[in-house]
Structure 1
Amino acid sequence: MGNTRKLWLGLLVLLIASFSVLLWAGGEIFRAAPPMPEKVLAEDGRVVYTRADIETGRQVWQSIGGMQLGSIWGHGGYVAPDWSADWLHREATGVLDIWARRDGGTASYAQLPAEEQGALRSRLQEMMRANTYDPATRTITLTQDRVAALSNVAAHYESLFGNDPATLELREAYAMKQDTVDTVEHRRALTAFFWWTAWAATTERAVEGETLAPDKAGVVAKKVTYTNNWPSEPLIGNTPPPALWVWSAFSVLFLIAGIAILGWHHAVSHGHGEEPHK
């Protein structure tokens, strides 16, 4: 078999392997994609957001430049924050502060003793990572405390994307113009979209067959969220899953091995092609 034919055969094998991996990964992404709810409800039945709110918010986000202004799930510009991560952190700290005031007798979570902080973090993780999406009704149900925290975060974003003097310094830091979103209705819809992206980042996937077996100590590891535990957020237990480290290491080693094989092939081919010196 000639060298040219071997190269074409190698290219064919590489293409088949590459597209097989892409098709498999695409299927996994589709299978584990975060659901789009018809309604987001508080425990008392009050409607917090609707699907129309979330989809309108996505359109508003795209109309103001989309990923040129901040990022979603890590994709986009980095002058403004990642809105998914920012919302998630603000909502988590908001819930912790509510509990600290009501149950701990302090003004904020930060003022609690370390032991009480740890107890509240465990409680927070259990609440925020729980998947309350009901496929039958296509609704997500949130606790009253979470709705209260969500409302405060939404008010912050409505202020930030408007022209409120209270958030002027943040707008300047994020390179945002006054009235980035110029209507109250669109600002509220934008908060619905940001909330949904944060919900997907903190909620464990409800995919059949993903329950993890307990380790030797009998502890069942947490399942990953719809975004594979991204962004990192210790408050709610978002840390990189073991599979991420495995695939990252494999990718680097595969790249190095590929470069080494190319170098070896180049050296061998040129070595055989050289004429002996007379």
Structure 2
Amino acid sequence: MLEISVVVGIDLMGSLFSVFFRNYRNFTRIDKEARMTVRSLKWASIICFVVAMAILLGGGIAMKKDLAPYPGKVAGPDGALLFGRDDIMNGQNVYQRYGLMDQGAVWGYGTQRGPEFSALSLHILAEAVGDYHASRDYGKPYAALDELQIKLVDAKTAHEIKLNRYDSATDTLKLTAAQVEGVNRITAYWNGMFSQGFQRFGLLPDTIADSRERLDISRFFFWTAWAAGTLRPGKDYSYTNNWPPDRRVGNVPSTGTYFYSIAGVFALLLVLGLFVFWIHRHHIWYGESKGVALADKLIDMPLTTSQYYAAKFFIVVIMLFLVQTTFGGLLAHYTIHPGSFYFAFVGKFISYNWAKSWHLQLMVFWIATTWMASAIRAGSFWSWGVSGRSCCSAA
């Protein structure tokens, strides 16, 4: 229900704010017999905003309460400390600092151009646990097992990964010997990936140059794999609702996954349908547009000093937009030919995640600059009227 409520709340808030703010001046000109007034739209917008924010805040509190625990200590079967919460959090900071969410993803959240870090780590963990039991139980590698032996080892692997060994009383996660082998294999894999690079994923050599940071991020990726595979206390699904999927560890979509995914889509369509009905029911945006006549008047109005200065803002906007689209073109090229470009130095020094980060940031910059320039351009008309005076230079 939370997912449906959030979708409905956001749609209502966005729709009504769009109607109110885009058409405020038009609504002030409609006759008294109109069903929707500026006052009613204003209160509808405020109510929708408050309700939607309450739903979002409530969802955030619920998510924080149900978040997979960051264990204070991660120990081996003999109780020896392997690493702790600080190492996991440091690894999470490394993941964020290098903008790797603009390269790959964790639990499905990210760019997904590169590796799905949690899914790959979970699969490496499953392979390590499976190899451990194949060697111990049958004296041969997993690849050499027969069909029955593979099924037995897979069942044992899934059970071992699914079993929640986190003790909230001592804030300790105790791993089995097979899982410790998984930790070591995950560490070795990501250490090599971030030091040597991997062109298919668009990872350059020395993406993370510091060995300590590579160790920390591997701890973080192990934690994401543990949370993705381990059952919630008292539930039959993992902390991430069996995501990412991996049949080898028993991660298959739950009933709730199908229900909320389908219900969320239907809720979105329902809200959009109600909004369209509301628009036509109250004849909003019907008749001749008053914006055209208003625009014609604006063309004939004299420009103020501040409005002339606003032109400099738009020059900056054009430059930022051109740089942003250049990065966009580079990203499109990297999608087909990762880690390479017509000019070799570009592919050697500009990584996909770096280009993606700036592509997004530049979009924010030119949109914000456009809003400021538009406010200066229009502010003189609404605040001072057509007097030729500048709102910025008036004495």
TM-score by length of 2: 0.58
2:135 matched residue in structure 1: 101
Deviations 1:229-275 (A, max 9, x none): 1111111111222122222222222222222223323333339x88x
| Partner secondary structure for residue 61 of structure 1 | helix
Match of 2:187 among 133, 154, 158: 154
- Partner letter of residue 219 of structure 2? A
Q: Which runs of no fewer than 5 residues in structure 1 stay unpaired?
A: 213-221
Q: How does 1:77-156 map to 2 (within 5 A)?
A: 77-108=111-142, 110-156=143-189
Correspondence 1:67 to 2:94: no
Aligned position for 2:271: 258
- Taking the aligned partners of 1:182 and 1:34, their CA distance within structure 2 comes to 29
Partner residue in 1 for 2:207: 180
- What's the CA shift string for 1:63-112, capped at 9, x where partnerless? 3223123222222222320111110001101111221222134322x442
Residues 2-17 of structure 1: matches in 2 within 5 Å?
A: 2-4=35-37, 11=45, 14-17=48-51
Contact 2:130–2:153 under 8 Å retained in 1? yes
Query: In structure 1, which of residues 235, 245, 248 is the aligned counterpart of residue 258 of structure 2?
Result: 245
Amino acid across the alignment from 2:134: A
Shift of 1:122: 2.0
Deviation digits for residues 154-191 of structure 1, max 9, x if unmatched?
1121122113xxxx5xx111211212222222221121
Worse overlay, 66-75 or 79-88: 66-75
Asked whether the 8 Å contact 2:118–2:222 carries over to 1, the reply is yes
Higher helix proportion: 2
1:202 to 211, 229, 233: 229
Structure 2 spans left out of the alignment, 5+ residues: 1-33, 288-395
Q: Partners of 2:90 and 2:40 in 1: how far apart?
A: 53
Of 57-66 and 183-192, the range deviating more from structure 2: 57-66
Q: 1:38 maps to which residue?
A: 72
SS at 2:82 equivalent:
strand
Q: Which has the larger radius of gyration?
A: 2
- Cα–Cα, structure 1 residues 138 and 14, in superposed 2: closer, same or farther, change >3 Å? same
Contact 1:32 1:205 survives alignment (8 Å): no
Q: 1:1-21: per-residue Cα shift (whole Å, max 9, x none)?
A: 943366556545544543343
Scaled by the length of structure 1, the TM-score of the pair is 0.81
C-alpha distance in 2, partners of 1:117/1:7? 64
1:185 partner letter: R
Asked if 1:192 is matched to 2:205, the reply is: no
Note if contact 2:186-2:222 (Cα within 8 Å) is conserved in structure 1.
Answer: no
Which residue of the partner structure matches residue 357 of structure 2? none
Aligned residues: 252
Q: For 1:151 and 1:58, how far apart are their aligned partners in 2?
A: 18
Q: What do the CA deviations read for 1:10-33 (whole angstroms, capped 9, x no partner)? A: 545544543343233222211111
SS in 1 for 2:164: coil
